[in-house]
Amino acid sequence: MATENPGWGYTRIQGALKNLGHGVARSTVAKVLKANGIPPAPARPSSWRTFLRAHWGEIAGADFFTSEVWTPRGLITYYTLFVLDLRSRRVHVAGSTPTPDAWFMAQAARRLTDVVDGFLVGHRILICDRDAKWTDGFRRILQGAGVRIVLTPVQAPNANAYAERFVRSIREECLDRLILFGERRLLRALDEFVAHYHRERNHQGLGNELITPATAAARGTRVHCRGRLGGLLRYYHRAA
């Protein structure tokens, strides 16, 4: 109870135990917690899992991944910013650029928090790592829209595990299998993979379901294959 509810003091835990039919003195609760190395409520740290559970449905994760793109100037590294809703696993690519400077980040923040169709509408928390690319301007715009930025612990990529998993998926299933000639080719690959990711790719974390399934399953007898990026991404479905 103490570890799952870091705000509960000795008396609150005593009451919870009473609900279970255990009459325990407050001093006994304090003694048991002290013996197990658990500090009193004001100094008791909240676990990352408890934090995520408390804000589930209002929390998103953001990160960057890189892609090598051939251009007339040679091989250029592009940085792609994306945001992912932890509960639904929906993902939004906020932009790609070889120079993720303050202007790019400010524009991305404005689009993400747009009151009409911003991806972060309805979210109160955004998880980011401690990369310097998260500029002060980006933070101010999000905070002005009511989105709190929470930084992951130092050297703890698993704290943003859903975003890390998306990076692994798009690299292994798409980008690592393509030679990208020009920015337009990169953007098309990103658009195609995101569409496949939402509507055609089963997700084990969602019970092997699709994020955005078709409104009604077709009942035809013939099976069709829908290919994207020259057949790199495939989806099998019954014909209407």
CB 226 within 8 A of CB 196: no
Residue 124 has pLDDT above 90, yes or no: yes
Confidence of residue 43 (pLDDT cuts 50, 70, 90): low
CB 148 within 8 A of CB 127: no
**Which pLDDT does position 155 carry in this prediction?**
78
Residue 50 has pLDDT above 80, yes or no: no
Show contacts of 232-240: CB within 8 Å, 24+ apart.
Answer: 232/173, 232/174, 232/177, 232/178, 233/173, 233/174, 233/192, 233/193, 233/196, 233/200, 235/196, 235/199, 235/200, 235/201
Residue 74 has pLDDT above 70, yes or no: yes
**Which pLDDT does position 48 carry in this prediction?**
67
Backbone torsion region of residue 174, taken as left when φ is above 0, otherwise alpha when ψ lies between -120 and 50, otherwise beta = alpha
Residue 105 has pLDDT above 70, yes or no: yes
Q: In the chain, what percentage of residues exceed pLDDT 70?
A: 93
Residue 182 has pLDDT above 70, yes or no: yes
Residue 154 has pLDDT above 90, yes or no: no
Check: pTM over 0.75? Answer yes or no.
yes
Give the whole-angstrom CA distance, residue 23 versus residue 65: 54
Q: Which residues pair with 76 in a beta bridge?
A: 69
CB 78 within 8 A of CB 66: yes
Determine the residue type at 113. T
| pLDDT tens readout for residues 1-38 | 777 777 778 888 888 888 988 999 989 988 988 888 77
Distances (CA, A) of 48 to 77, 129, 161: 33, 14, 12
